[in-house]
Structure 1
Amino acid sequence: MVQTKKICTACGTQFPISYTDHLCAICMEERQYVPAAGQEWTSHDILLKTHATEIKQLNDKLYEICITPKFAIGQRAFLLISEHGNILWDCIPLLDENVIDFIRSKGGLKAIAFSHPHYYSNMNDWADLFRCPVYIHKNDEPYISEKGNNILLWEENELPLWDGMCLINIGGHFAGSTILLHTTMSEKGTVLCGDTFYLSPSMKHFAVMYSYPNRIPLPLKEIKRIKEQVKNINFDSVYGFYPYQNLPHNAKEILMDSLERYLQ
């Protein structure tokens, strides 16, 4: 029987053929969880038969990429269109002809970058297909299930890219948790954050936690550190983990108020 790479149905992480553990290493970590029904696996070939990618334009520089019907934790990726090279921000574990053709029609990818390990999915397949590097903060290196040749680890607090874009290591949720700041997408700047910052359904509060599903908070000293760091970043818009987490106005004010509420 031909062996295939396994994808965890709970978190969407793909593991190499050599991975023989019964449980997903990402779900076993305390920021995620193994479902009560038990560990289940699938493969990319199966996903191609049961799911599809869905692409939605959010503005003239930003496209949302999701999987339908919902798979794993329902994460979304973003395609940022930029003059000197496009970026895929975060990743989804399905790479079908729809999204491949769409990205190629927009000029391909110059790089892939990540907010945190719950998005790594099948990143090496994306990087191999589009022949581009994958930027991951070195603090999160232990969570890489398969270290492909395209992975580039960076260690600084900030990593300037091109066309007014920059990766910023915020920490908190994971030590390597990162945001992407795009300085020209909105009047004051736009942040793509995964769930480094987690916008509430009310659109009036951001959570910043060690584990969201397990409700484990961060120490107050860490919240204070993050607040001091965010204070020096200019932005007014945020796009987060889920499709509803689009906040085009007053995002920094809401985030700073939320962090202050934690400290009080």
Structure 2
Amino acid sequence: MKNQICTACGTQLPMSSKPIKLCPICVDDRQYIPETGQTWTDLDELSKNHLMVTKKLNDHLYELKMMPSFGIGQRALLVITPAGNILWDCISLLNEPIIEFINSKGGLKAIAFSHPHYYTTMNEWAATFNCPIYIHKNDEQWIFNKGDQVRLWEGAEQELWDGISIINVGGHFPGSSILHIPFLSPKGVVLCGDTFYISPSKKHMAAMYSYPNRIPLPLEEIKRIKALMHQLDFDTMHGFYADQNVYLVAKEVLETSMSRYV
């Protein structure tokens, strides 16, 4: 039996003798079951119908995306460093071309996540590249296919290497996190997944409990997040969609946006 992948969010769930009728990620208020109903696929089918494309954002950062778009439509981000590479968030398809591409850049030393909507086929990726998966312990309940490579971390911050760290922000999920890279721009880069949602205008950012269902966070939570991010040095931010890139003014945009909430 093959592990099944939810076509709405891209999460791979373990197959069992009792088939799962509804994706547990999608029935939560932060996601949704499509009006057309729950449908499933698997890696073999994805490989037949989708391609992986890469885009260089700079010498140390690449975007990985499925074409045509699948699930939530997110991208993964590959961070290249001399001490080892990091895959930030994940996408469902894993095929030979992308494996060859990542290996040509030095493979993976770690996979890290912003939140559960992007777990997708993380165990397949970790097994292929023989690397750990970093997930905040606050989101452990959303790991429905827990492999041997999962490393649960606790507290406010998980240091990796070269000054790179995963920082727990909360909000969207209790374990929602960002990846802070201090050396990719003058003041530092944040990879946010959709811990923050960057608007098409690049002039606004949102922090919400549910983005698709438009459920806001409590005011006190916004104030807490605003104060936390104020302490962090950064000027550039990359979100989960391909057009969500804000250069050099990201902290200013985020702080202005959080102030408008308040």
**TM-score normalised to the size of structure 1?**
0.98
Alpha-carbon separation, structure 2, partners of 1:72 and 1:119: 10
Matched residues in 2 for 1:83 and 1:207: separation? 33
Query: Quick check: 1:44 aligned with 2:54?
Result: no
Deviation string 1:7-31 (CA, Å, 9 cap, x unpaired) is 0000000000126221100000110
Q: Which residue of 2 aligns with 1:8?
A: 6
Residue 139 (str. 1) matches residue 141 (str. 2): no
How far off its partner does 1:97 sit? Answer: 1.0
1:1-264 equivalence runs, <5 A: 3-18=1-16, 20-263=19-262
SS at match of 1:11: coil
SS of the aligned residue for 1:162 comes to: coil
Matched residues, number: 261
- Per-residue deviation, residues 178-199 of structure 1 (Å, max 9, x unmatched): 0000000000000000000100
Q: What SS does the corresponding residue of 1:27 show, helix, strand or coil?
A: coil
> Which deviates the most, 17-26 or 197-206?
17-26
CA RMSD of aligned residues (A): 0.7
Amino acid of the structure 1 residue aligned with 2:201: S
Alpha-carbon distance between aligned partners in 1 of 2:3 and 2:108, rounded to the nearest angstrom: 24
Instruction: Give the letter aligned to residue 17 of structure 1.
Output: M
Letter in 2 for 1:113: A
Could you tell me how far 1:98 is from its partner in structure 2?
1.2
Q: Deviations over 1:196-252 (max 9, x none)?
A: 010001110001000000000000000000001001000000000100001112000
AA partner of residue 8 (structure 1): C
* AA of the residue aligned to 1:192: L
- The TM-score normalised by the length of structure 2 is 0.99
TM-superposed deviation, 1:160 = 1.1
Q: Which amino acid aligns with 1:51?
A: H
- Provide the rounded CA distance (Å) in 1 between the counterparts of 2:57 and 2:116: 24
Equivalent position SS for 1:140: helix
Output the amino acid matched with 1:70: S
Q: Provide structure 1 residue ranges, at least 5 long, that are not aligned to the other structure.
A: none
The one-letter amino acid of 1:5's match is N
Using the TM superposition, give the Cα deviation of residue 163 of structure 1 relative to its aligned residue in structure 2, in angstroms. 1.2
Which whole-Å CA distance do the structure 2 matches of 1:230 and 1:143 have between them? 25
Q: 2:31 aligns to what SS in structure 1?
A: coil
What letter is aligned with 1:207? A
- Name the SS for the 1:28 alignment partner: coil
Residue ranges of structure 2 left out of the alignment (5+ in a row): none
Identity within the alignment, %: 60
Structure 1 CA distance for aligned equivalents of residues 117 and 40 of structure 2: 16
